[in-house]
Amino acid sequence: MGLGTVDYHLLYGDIKLTLEQEFLGFEIYAKDKSYGDLLVFPESASDIPGIEGEKTYAFTDDYTIDLSTVIKDSGADLDFTLPMASSLRFMHLFIMQQPEVMSRIAHILSSGSGGGW
């Protein structure tokens, strides 16, 4: 519960990228990182300083990026493909268009815990 009778609900996008690399069938590298909605990091989006008891709702998309080493006459290159921006459903630009986000907002507003208007 926040100040007085106000409840605080934090809805945010959380795009998680995992980088993986294999060599001869063995995983030699794996690293994952959360980038929030690509504008606001989840550490910031999931907290209101000075407020305790806020409710957080992370809308998460997980993407795996396969890294491969390409050997050339001139040396070695790292090859990978990033997801298209239009496929990142929970990035800052697209999050409010997603049905599950709209549904959560409607539920918060209709449940009485979202505060009356």
Q: What is the pLDDT of residues 53-69, one digit of tens each?
A: 889 999 999 999 988 88
Quote the tokens at residue 84.
Answer: 């298209």
At residue 112 the predicted structure's pLDDT band, cuts being 50, 70 and 90, is low
Residue 40: CB atoms within 10 A of its CB come to: 14
Quote the tokens at residue 63.
Answer: 């993407």
Residue 17, H or E segment: strand 9-23
* Alpha carbons 78 and 47: distance in angstroms, whole number: 37
Contacts of 81 (CB under 8 A, 6+ apart): 65, 66
Give the tens place of pLDDT for each residue, 1-56: 444 567 899 999 999 999 998 887 788 889 999 999 999 999 999 999 988 888 99
Quote the tokens at residue 86.
Answer: 């239009």
Residue 104, H or E segment: helix 99-110
